Amino acid sequence: MIKHFSLLSFMLLALGLHIQAQPQATVLVNDAQAHQTISRYIYGMFSEHLGRDIYDGIWVGKNSSIPNKDGIRLDVVEALRRIHVPVMRWPGGCFADEYHWKDGVGDPAQRPKTINTNWGGVTETNAFGTHEFMEFCRLVGCDPYIAGNVGSGTVQEMSEWVEYLNSNQESSITEWRKRNGQDSAWKVPFWGVGNESWGCGGNMTPEYYADLYRRYASFCKNYPGAPLKKIASGPNGHDLHWMEVLLQDIPHWMMWGISLHYYTVPTGNWSHKGSATDFGEDQYFSTLKRGLYMDQILNDQEALMNRYDPQKRLALVVDEWGVWTDVEPGTNPAFLYQQNSLRDALLAASTLNIFNQHCDRVRMANLAQTVNVLQSVILTHGPQMVLTPTYWVFDLYKVHQDARLVPLQLQTPDYVFGDDSLPAINASASIDSTGAMHISLVNIDPHQAITVKLEFPGSASWKFSGGQLLTSAHVNDCNTFEHPDLIHPTSFSGVRQSGNVWTVQMPAKSVVVLTLKK
């Protein structure tokens, strides 16, 4: 009798340990409270005259054997159209504050050659200028976002660029545009007044920049049918002082938004940032930890903005973000060419979940950068093109663009590494214009699958309509020119429904996007 009792006790104990060994997260889905809109502009891109982003990546020239439309490579255009890129920021970056737009219009054979002093001292041919950029945006189907030159430019120069792009009234500037082949104004809405004015854009103090902003913005005019959304050069990451000075010294009616830049450096050391693909779990963990710090940055910057702008009229524009690693061996260190792994995709998905959750203040974000630079969505080599794991995140998440945010309450186990830990699961959800709900889930734990229970306290009428999964065998797996399709979305069916509770079996190191319909 005693032996039988002991065996039963042992079996119950083992069963209990087995149950405890299965990590579980719970998500309360408050679909009845979906009121705020996730701006499509959160899913924007950034392209700079840096390395092979513009030249080779977007522009190949009219005489190239690579299929192109007036010099713009069409495979890149089609890839960006697929993910519904809503806005493209250009020409920089640091390059913006040494760029003089008049060098890039008119007969390409007559355009002056300049030196790109920020990125390798290479020759800038100015073959890709204002007209080429606007045509690129037209082909992609996205809005342009111009970063104006405050660092080395003049008020008149920026004022005339606005006039060139946005005015249909008769003037020497608009007549010049017509002679260059564009009869009607493009009416560009988004204008950045300087870039990183605390750094490469002039190493200014916030007080000095705020005065300059007021002057430049005053002469960036609204032309009929073309109101400007002016964006001030905001803080470097967590710099609250810079943000507060701008909020105090610039009248809010002079700004549509304030920018913020934050890069994830895996090691935290800008001199040795770490490899994009050759890393262990220590750098995997540190990358995710530094990247997820974005949520704290936004919380603190938004709390400050709420003190000065409680009506939330000002947008927070995260117009440079992404993972920044050491360049690929054998490439020009000034060109910032890096590979892109599953780790980067997991961080991109997690960051987009964060942006979605902050959509009441974050109304634009631009991944750095689009092609061949930093955490790009596309890599090119001659006629070849590779879509990175980060690209596929943007493809999965395009369902959130202009959808209504569904508030979530999340309880998650931790991903533990050494003496530190991070929330293993993050998520966001939205309801689109057709009434379909999309729930994006990320499991950053590289070892453990996690059971996620989705609870719908107000409704049991949702039905599973499909799911997609992004994962791979290793967190440093990547798509290469030899194996371009190693990582791509696959169908996901690991979902079970019981009443208004759904059970989702999330694989380790994975992104899952579910579609539900009533």
pLDDT value of residue 2: 33
Residue 278 lies in a domain: yes
Residues 375 and 478 in one domain: no
**Domain contains 490:** yes
Residue 422 sits in a domain whose CATH number is 2.60.40.1180
The predicted structure's pLDDT at residue 457: 85
pLDDT average per 10 residues of sequence, the chain (518 residues) = 37 42 89 94 98 98 97 98 98 97 97 96 97 98 98 98 98 98 98 98 98 98 97 97 98 98 97 97 98 98 98 98 98 98 98 98 98 98 98 98 97 97 98 97 98 86 94 98 97 91 96 96
Q: Which of 124, 135, 196, 302 is catalytic?
A: 196
- Total domain count, the chain: 2
Q: How far apart are CA 44 and CA 64, in angstroms?
A: 28
| Token pair belonging to 267 | 């090691």
Among this protein's residues, is 320 annotated catalytic?
A: yes
Same domain, 243 and 285: yes
pLDDT, one tens digit per residue, over 240-274 is 999 999 999 999 999 999 999 999 999 999 999 99
* Pairwise CA distance, residues 415 & 447, whole Å: 9
141: left (phi over 0), alpha (psi -120 to 50) or beta: left
According to the model, what pLDDT value does residue 6 have?
42
Q: Where does a domain end: 376, 401, 426?
A: 401
- Give a yes or no: residue 7 inside a domain: no
pLDDT tens readout for residues 66-86: 999 999 999 999 999 999 999
Output the pLDDT for position 461.
85
Spatial CA neighbour of 493 closest among 512, 471, 473:
512
Please report the pLDDT score of residue 458 as a whole number: 72
Q: What is the CATH number of the domain that holds 158?
A: 3.20.20.80
At residue 16, the pLDDT reads 44
What is residue 21's predicted lDDT score, i.e. its pLDDT? 59
* pTM greater than 0.85: yes
Residue 5, in any domain of the structure: no
Q: Is the dihedral of CA 100, 103, 104, 105 positive or negative?
A: positive
* pLDDT of 460: 65
Residue where one domain finishes, among candidates 350, 384, 401 = 401
CB atoms within 10 A of CB 330: 6
CA distances from 18 to 22, 328, 445 (A): 7, 43, 19
Backbone angles phi, psi at 269, to 5 degrees: -115, 110
State yes or no: is 98 an active-site residue.
no
Q: 191 and 90 in contact (C-beta within 8 Å)?
A: no
Among 163, 320, 328, 455, the active-site one is 320
Q: Do 115 and 100 fall within a single domain?
A: yes
- The contacts of residue 256 (CB under 8 Å, 6+ apart) are 190, 228, 229, 230, 231, 314, 315
Domain of residue 146 covers 40-401
| Residue finishing a domain among 401, 426, 453 | 401
Instruction: Read off the amino acid at residue 347.
Output: L
